[in-house]
Structure 1
Amino acid sequence: MDGDDLKYLLREAFDSQVLNHGDFNLVYGQPSGAGNPWTIGYRRHPLELLLCPVDLEALPGLREDASIATVALGNVATLADTGTGYQVETVTGFRTWFEVSGAPRVPLPENLRDLLAAPRQEPDADSLVLEQESDAEDFHQFMSHFMDTLDSYYDE
């Protein structure tokens, strides 16, 4: 398994949960603190962010109770750049902090290590680096646009 294989599994998990999945770009986000990582879908029209929890131990299957948090202009309460990531809160009380980096190190639970085509001899075979430099850059631009759009409502 390499980063592209993991991206494929994450895309499959997202697509199976989101009806109009083709409208979204995806990035992998790591929580700031404990909790499952996120597959984050985002689109500019309409301006929307979908946070899908990823149970890496359930891949390539899915958790039955996976709930997607939708963040749009109509329900966002707080959207902030923390310097190392983002804080998101909706009017319904959903709140999370996460980071999106260009090369996150993703822990590989045993079920994903078992999917390896050939045994890896590297000392860090229990994780892999997910290359998403251009996707992360695009996501950060999206978040800046989202925050600027939100701020413009308060400037009027």
Structure 2
Amino acid sequence: MNSFENLSPDDRKRMSYLKTRDDCTQFARNVGDRHPHLVLAARQRSVEVQVNAMNLDSALRRDIWSVVYAQEEAIFVKHGRRLRAGNTRKVITNRGELGAVEYVVKQPGSESFELLHSLGLGDYTFEAVVLRNQEHFSSDVVDAARRKLDARRGSDTAGVA
């Protein structure tokens, strides 16, 4: 999920200096005009830093919480202030982590899903989590995730001749 491998060694080193969400935000502001590719990397680093702080016990749980923090990054970009992904967190509280993923994936596309994709954070959707961790989900959930992502890809290329 980490796309830092596409960065130059110098850019990867820059990312390694970012230790907090606030560091990542300030870095993105500072380089945004000159290096837009580093804005995406800083957003991804922000998600990574927050998930690392949770000390989660499995790759699947890290993947799930990465989505929550990516949603919060997207909310910050959209509204210009830090807000929690309250609806997502409530669904996790009520249904558990896996139940929340299944519930969200079975719903029609959401504003959050589209916003994450538009910001280059499409790997941080519950649909992408399901496809990376298919062994943990039923076939109908996997199929729903695949349909939503395929439809999204189709809409990306619809205007391209």
Greater share of strand: 1
Q: TM-score, normalised by structure 2?
A: 0.27
**Structure ranking higher on relative contact order (CA contacts 8 Å, 6+ apart):** 1
